[in-house]
Amino acid sequence: MLDVKFSVAIHMLIMISEGPKDLTSEQIGRSVNKNASYIRKILALLKKQNIICSQQGKVGIQLAVPKAELTLWQIYKAIQGTDTLYIWDIHTNANDQCIVGQFIRPTLEDLLAECNKLVREKLEQTSLADVIHRMRNHIEQYNPEIIKNIVIK
């Protein structure tokens, strides 16, 4: 199963960017449907990479990078702790006596390396502001009137 920390971090950063300035980890946790402890762990990863800033003992978290400049790739690296994109894996122990088993790994490694490159490029080109814009579009398509009463600015 893939890790959901990346999508949780994006969810959190949208709330931090667009929500009230006095958000707590408990409030974010209710929106993400995770406990506050889990949220604080993600916040610590983001803070360590200077994506957010906050002061211990004080309420409120802010973006340290403008949302138009904060890329999904920066968020991914902060959360995963690596410059390596890891989306999928290839099964091990294929039967070398079978021609498919013998060549499946190198064949898929080449193909998946190309896919990883495309995904990474898309993450590098997409900002948090772009994601917020997409969310607004989804909200407006669902119910144009709701946009007036929602936290997202």
Confidence of residue 65 (pLDDT cuts 50, 70, 90): very high
Confidence of residue 20 (pLDDT cuts 50, 70, 90): confident
Q: Note whether residue 49 is domain-resident.
A: yes
Strand boundaries in the chain, DSSP class E: 52-54, 61-63
Confidence of residue 152 (pLDDT cuts 50, 70, 90): very low
Q: Note whether residue 27 is domain-resident.
A: yes
Q: Note whether residue 153 is domain-resident.
A: no
Residue 116's φ and ψ, nearest 5 degrees, are -60, -40
Percentage, residues of the chain above pLDDT 70: 92
**Per-residue DSSP letter, 150:** S
Residue among 93, 84, 89 at smallest CA distance from 120: 84
- Residue 12: the pLDDT is 97
Q: Note whether residue 93 is domain-resident.
A: yes
For the cut 60, the answer to whether the pLDDT of residue 1 exceeds it is no
Residues 63, 13 contacting (CB under 8 angstroms) = yes
* CATH number for the domain harbouring residue 34: 1.10.10.10
Confidence of residue 79 (pLDDT cuts 50, 70, 90): very high
Query: Could you tell me the pTM of the whole model?
Result: 0.85
Q: Note whether residue 30 is domain-resident.
A: yes
- Residue 142: the pLDDT is 79
Residue holding tokens 């990078």?
65
- Residue 87: the pLDDT is 83
Q: Which residues pair with 53 in a beta bridge?
A: 62
Average pLDDT, the chain: 90
Residues 11, 135 contacting (CB under 8 angstroms) = no
The whole-angstrom separation of Cα 55 and Cα 10 is: 21
Query: Which tops the pLDDT comparison, 138 or 131?
Result: 131
Secondary structure (3-state) at 140: helix
Question: For the chain, what is the radius of gyration of the CA atoms?
Answer: 19
For the cut 70, the answer to whether the pLDDT of residue 91 exceeds it is yes
For the cut 90, the answer to whether the pLDDT of residue 3 exceeds it is no
Q: Name the domain count of the chain.
A: 1
Query: Which tops the pLDDT comparison, 141 or 108?
Result: 108
Range of the structural domain that residue 129 is part of: 5-148
Q: Note whether residue 78 is domain-resident.
A: yes
Residues 132, 147 contacting (CB under 8 angstroms) = no
Q: What would the mean pLDDT of 3-8 be, rounded to a whole number?
A: 92
Residue among 19, 76, 72 at smallest CA distance from 30: 19
